[in-house]
Amino acid sequence: MAKQVFWRKLGVCGIGSACLVLAGCANFAKESETFQPPPSSSETNTVVVSAVTNAPPDGGYDWDVLARMAAANCNEAKALLLDARGERYQTAVDTAWRNPQLRLGHHEGDEDEVSPERRGMQTFPDEVNMPSRPFTRYRQTGDSSFDGDTLGLRVYMANPFVNRWLRKRGEASAKVIEAEADEEAYAVFCEVRTLCLEAQMLQEEIALLEQMATLRRELRDYRKEQADAGVANALDLIRSETRWVSLRSEIREKQLARQQIIRQIALLAKVPAEQVCLRPPDFSRLIDPARLEVSALTDMAFLRRPDLLRVTRQKEAAQHGVKAAKAGHIPWLEYVEGTYEEESATGTSTEQYFSGHDTTSQDQTEWQVRVAITLPVFNWLGDEVKRSRSELAAAEMRADGVETKIRAEVGGVLADFLSAREARDQITEERQRVQETVTKQIDALAKESTVKYEEVLSAREELLAYRRFCLKAEREYLRMVQFLETVSGGSLAAER
C-alpha cells in the first residue's frame, strides 16, 4: 500500500515537473516565433527574376532588376541573416531556464543497537533479611530495519528582472546584424547599377569610335588610291593607316573592358554572361527639384541609409545592456528544490537480565521545500554597469560619426552634382547647336569641288570627337546622379 501511494505521488510530481519544464520553455517558444528574420529592403524590392530559365527578358534586363537580383543573391548578406537568426537562438538560450533535476532515491538497511550499561543499588522486597547490594542491569540490545524512497525536484529559474532586458538586447543585436546584411546588399545594388552605367557608356562610346574608324578607313582607302595614282606620297598613306589601326586597337580595348564589366555583372547577379543584355535606360528621368536640397537629402538619408540603421540598432542594444546590468542589482526570491521522502522502519529490542522482547514499527513521510534569496553583493560594485555604459557611449559615438559623415557626403555630392549638371546642360545646348550647324556646313562643303575629300573626312571625324567629349560629360553627370542616390539611400526620381 505504501508503495502504491509513493508511485501515485511520483506520478503527480512528474506531471508537476513537466508543467515546470513547459513554463521554463515558454520563453524559448515565444522567442522561436520571431526567429524568422524580417525581410530586408533588398528582399522586399526583389523582382522575381532569379527564376529566369534560359533567355533574358525581351529588350534586355532593366538595371534595377539586375541590381536587385545581385542584392538578393549576395552571399555575405545571406550569411549575416543566418548570423542574426543564430543571435536570436543564443538570446533564447541565455534567457531560458536550465534543465530541472529530478532525483529518485531508495535506501534500506539493518542496524544493531546496544545501549550502555546501567548500574545501581537494588533492594529485593521478598528477601527482607538480605542486605542491599549493588545491582547490575545488563545492556539493552536490539536490531532495526528501515526501507525508504526519496523524490526530489530542483528547478533553476532565470532572473526575470535581467531576462527582460537581455531579450530586448538580443533582439536589437539581431537587428544590428540584419542591418549589416541590408548594408551589404545595398552596396552590391549600387555597385551593379554603377557597372551597368559604365557598360552603357562604353557601348555608346564604342559606337562613336566605330563611326570614327569608318571615316579613317575611308581616308586610308582614299590615300591608297592617291598613292597608286602618284598624287599622294607614301608618308600620307602610312599616317592614315596608322591612325586607323590605332583606333581599331582602342575599340578592341573598350570592347574588352565592357566584356569584363558584363562578366562582373553576371557574376554578381548569378546570371550567365551570355544572357546579360542591358536595356537602354530612360535618361530623360528627372529628379524631383524639391529633393535637391541638403536638408531634404539628409532627412531622406537618415530614414533610408542602412549604415545609419545599423549604428542606431547598436545604440539600442547598448541601452538595453545598461538596463540589464542595472536589473542585476535587484535581489529576488526563487524556488530551489522540493523533496518528498517516505520511510518505514521496524525495530526489535531485547533487555538482558530481565528477558523481554519489544517490537515496534513506524512509518513516516517528510516534505521539504527550499527557497533562496539571491543577493547581488558583487554586482553592487557597478562593474557591469560601467562596462555597459562604456559600450553605450561607444555606440553613441559611432552613431554621431555616421550622421556627421552622411551630412558631409550629402553636401559634397550635391555640390558635385550641381556642377556636373550645369556643365552637362551647357554642353548639351552647344552640342545641339554645333550638331545642326556644323553638319550642314560640312555637307555643303562636301559638294564643293574646291574642298578636298580628306578635309571633309577630317571635319566629320572632329565632329565625332566632339560628340565623344559630350558623351563623357553626360557620363559624369549620370555618375553623379547615381552617387547622389547612393548617399541619400534610394531613388530621387520624380513620381509620374
pLDDT means per 10 residues in the chain (496 residues)?
48 50 44 38 39 62 89 92 92 84 78 56 48 50 72 80 88 92 93 92 92 90 82 81 90 94 92 86 74 89 91 92 86 78 71 57 79 77 85 92 92 91 86 83 81 84 88 88 89 66
DSSP 235-265: HHHHHHHHHHHHHHHHHHHHHHHHHHHHHHH
Q: Across the chain, how many H-helices and E-strands are there?
A: 10, 6
Reported as type and span, the H/E element at residue 444 is helix 383-446
Q: What are phi and psi of 459, to 5 degrees?
A: -65, -40
Q: Alpha-carbon distance 85 to 32, whole Å? A: 10
Nearest-5° Cα angle at 322, 319 to 327: 130
Q: What is the DSSP letter of 286?
A: P
Number of Cβ within a 10 Å radius of residue 79: 13
Residue 317 and residue 176 in contact, taking contact as beta carbons nearer than 8 Å: yes
Q: For residue 479, give the nearest of 89, 149, 198, 59 by alpha carbon.
A: 198
Handedness of CA 240, 241, 245, 251 (dihedral sign): positive
Residue 356's pLDDT is 54
Question: What nine digits make up the cell of 52?
Answer: 529566369
Question: CA dihedral defined by 297, 298, 302, 303, rounded to 10 degrees?
Answer: -30
Q: Alpha-carbon distance 462 to 466, whole Å? A: 6
Residue 29's pLDDT is 39
Nearest-5° Cα angle at 483, 479 to 486: 140
The CATH code for residues 2-113+142-346+394-488 is 1.20.1600.10
Residue with cell 606620297: 233
Domain ranges of the chain: 2-113+142-346+394-488
Number of Cβ within a 10 Å radius of residue 233: 12
Q: Alpha-carbon distance 398 to 315, whole Å? A: 9
Residue 255 and residue 206 in contact, taking contact as beta carbons nearer than 8 Å: yes
Residue 113's pLDDT is 60
Residue 368's pLDDT is 81
Residue 384's pLDDT is 83
Q: How far is CA 356 from CA 6, 7, 140, 297, in A?
A: 35, 38, 10, 106
What is the end-to-end Cα distance of the chain in Å, rounded? Answer: 87
Q: For residue 195, give the nearest of 261, 282, 268, 269 by alpha carbon.
A: 261
Residue 327's pLDDT is 84
Residue with cell 552622411: 406
Nearest-5° Cα angle at 269, 264 to 272: 75
Question: What b-and-e string marks burial along 381-395, b requiring 16 or more CB atoms within 10 Å of the CB?
Answer: eeebbeebbebbeeb
Q: What are phi and psi of 373, to 5 degrees?
A: -110, 120
Q: Alpha-carbon distance 487 to 294, whole Å? A: 11
Question: What nine digits make up the cell of 138?
Answer: 545488563
